[in-house]
Amino acid sequence: MARAAERLRVLFLCTGNSCRSQMAEGWARTLHPESIEPSSAGTNPQAVNRLAVRVMAEAGVDISPQQSKSVESLAGLEFDAVVTVCDSARDACPAFHGRARVIHACFDDPPRLAGAATTDAEALPHYRRVRDEIRQFVETLPQALTGDSTMKTRACCDDSCCSTPAQDSHAVRDQVREGYAKIAQGGCCGPSGSGGGCCGATAFSPDQLAQAIGYSSSELGAVPDSANMGLSCGNPTAIASLRPGEVVLDLGAGGGFDCFVAGPKVGATGRVIGVDMTPEMLTMARRNIASYRNQTGLDNVEFRLGEIEAIPVADASVDVVISNCVLNLSPDKPRVWREIARVLKPGGRVAVSDLALVRPLPASVTDDIHAFIGCVAGAVLVEETRAMATAAGLRHITLTAKPQYIDAMTNWEDPLYRAIIEKLPPGSKPSDFITSLDVSAVKP
């Protein structure tokens, strides 16, 4: 290892040396000019990814002068550390054979994440998320190199080298995306199923569920048949008090149900933007637009591909953010709340219906990915929601618990809740732990 007075020579590796390793090199050069001398390379060098250049420029870092390089071109150089940035061996990331310390920092591949995107606007949120995760890693890299002698030093990525909390978050996100893709294709609740609350099929149809949780017949009349998939746990448009001319953002729009409910409320001069991370859901929502136009005569709803941790919407451009039984699915909820605050105009409002905990669930429930997809295992305590919204800078936060929703799901013998009951302590019921929660807040 280099002496403390010298800059540490660090090589960042990924297969193409076009995106992740280039971003890591740019962050190291910017954040640690006095302590790190960074380079990057790959086994199959490609041109620096233009979207990587773009999102780094958004963060104030210019990587456009950087060049893709092969590992062989650096063979004569000595490094203090080599950092592989492949994501759990999905790429054949290059091994570096030598005396340098090898560190595995595994990040998702933005081009792969954005593979279904049809526009830059849809692709950029994926690049932004990975950009920010790489920054978090690089920020602490000097301390890790000089102070953590137990860091792993295996050769290249394999299936076990990426078991960090961040990678676990990626795995959860991928599993949730896969689960909701199946829903969109009729494999769970939805038009071809029997409906159900937050992906728990019930004996009630989607329309019956929607009416039971507060949607009116007139609201449902403007919604295309396939948009209501029985995934709601409340009616955020009711607590939003939407007004004509407002811009509304729906996080986790699914088939577009709440977007189509909100559209007539904001009228021809307003706009509704739905964001969802599942391409199959986005395809369904976009197909539903034609039916919505025919039913209402309005052309004020659009859908964008993106993750709610990196919302594809400009700063201070939205009057109201709504969401229905989605925020609890995020593995990085504080970041979602910060994103909500970012996109809201001053004076903008939040109206969220979600599931929350009144006390912690048993581990047997939280470890169940089916419960996570059903919006239960990912829920946090009610006061944690308040703390995250407050930390994001929101004010006038009101939390309204509605345990009767959970009791209704139990009374309807929802399969998800039946499975949860089996894992709860004897004599308890789901509503002892879980509640439907309406959240309202304002950006100062």
The C-alpha atoms of residue 33 and residue 55 are separated, in whole angstroms, by: 21
Phi then psi dihedrals of residue 99, to 5 deg: -95, 0
Q: Which residues pair with 37 in a beta bridge?
A: 9
Q: Which pLDDT belongs to residue 43?
A: 84
Give the tokens for residue 394: 């929101």
Domain boundary residue, one of 101, 132, 163: 163
Under DSSP, is residue 248 helix (H, G, I), strand (E, B) or coil?
A: strand
Q: Which pLDDT belongs to residue 4?
A: 44
Domain for residue 92, yes or no? yes
Counting Cα atoms < 13 Å in the Cβ hemisphere of 349 gives 18
pLDDT, the chain, mean: 79
Q: Which pLDDT belongs to residue 37?
A: 95
Render pLDDT for 74-120 as a digit per residue (tens, 0 to 9).
877 888 899 988 765 444 555 555 557 888 887 888 988 787 778 88
H or E stretch at 324: strand 318-324
Assessment of whether the complete model's pTM goes beyond 0.75: no
Nearest Cα neighbor of 251 from 439, 398, 40 is 439
Residues 185, 51 within the same domain: no
Give the tokens for residue 244: 């004509």
Contacts (Cβ under 8 Å, ≥6 apart) of 168: 331
Domain for residue 348, yes or no? yes
Report the pLDDT averaged over residues 364-393. 76
**Residue 42 is part of which domain span?**
8-163
Least confident range from 62-71, 114-123, 265-274: namely 114-123
Highest mean pLDDT, choosing among 21-30, 190-199, 275-284: 21-30
Under DSSP, is residue 288 helix (H, G, I), strand (E, B) or coil?
A: helix
Nearest Cα neighbor of 107 from 123, 122, 92, 129 is 129
Give the tokens for residue 217: 């017949």
Residue with the larger pLDDT of the pair 416 and 268 = 268
Domain boundary residue, one of 105, 132, 163: 163
CA distances from 68 to 4, 6, 61, 279 (A): 29, 26, 17, 31
Q: Which pLDDT belongs to residue 195?
A: 38
Apex 23 CA angle, 134 and 67, nearest 5: 160
Q: Which residues pair with 25 in a beta bridge?
A: none
Residues 214, 284 within the same domain: yes
The C-alpha atoms of residue 26 and residue 38 are separated, in whole angstroms, by: 8
Domain for residue 170, yes or no? no
Give the number of other CB atoms < 10 A from CB of residue 388: 20
The C-alpha atoms of residue 421 and residue 79 are separated, in whole angstroms, by: 55
Render pLDDT for 69-84 as a digit per residue (tens, 0 to 9).
998 888 778 888 999 8
Does the pLDDT of residue 150 top 80, yes or no?
no
Residues 90, 238 within the same domain: no
Domain for residue 168, yes or no? no
Does the pLDDT of residue 161 top 50, yes or no?
no
> Where residue 41 sits, what CATH number does that domain have?
3.40.50.2300
Nearest Cα neighbor of 229 from 263, 202, 266, 265 is 202
Nearest Cα neighbor of 324 from 345, 288, 353 is 353
Least confident range from 244-253, 273-282, 421-430: namely 421-430
Residues serving a catalytic function are 14, 86, 93
Does the pLDDT of residue 254 top 60, yes or no?
yes
The C-alpha atoms of residue 235 and residue 182 are separated, in whole angstroms, by: 24
Domain for residue 3, yes or no? no
Q: Which pLDDT belongs to residue 54?
A: 96
Report the pLDDT averaged over residues 429-437. 84
Residues 250, 216 within the same domain: yes
